[in-house]
Amino acid sequence: MPKHTVAIGQIIKQTLKEQGRSMTWLACQVHCDRSNFYKKLNTNSVEIDLLLRISEVLHKDFFAHYSALVSHEKNMGGGKIYHKN
């Protein structure tokens, strides 16, 4: 995984596990086709509108993981935040 990547799908899956909820349940809550939802969470990025719905349903700010990355880069004096593969 590149240095500047947030594995948001894994973070969401871990949150589901901690809350005792299933991927199927979450897919239903965010009005997303279950099989398509699984594919979306197996990547390192999630569409902003979907991430917002997931954050609302799970009562957790998943955007904070990206904000922390930006803050870390700023504190480290790095001007470049994202790498292209």
What pTM value is reported for the model? 0.76
Does any domain span residue 70? yes
Count of alpha carbons within 13 angstroms of residue 19, beta-carbon side: 15
pLDDT in tens, 44-61: 788 999 999 999 999 999
- The boundaries of the domain holding residue 50 are 8-75
Number of domains in the chain: 1
Contacts of the segment 71-77: beta carbons below 8 A, 24+ positions apart: 73/4
Q: What was the pLDDT predicted at 70? A: 77
Ranges under pLDDT 50 in the chain:
1-2, 81-85
Q: Within a domain: residue 84? A: no
Residue pointed to by tokens 């199927």: 24
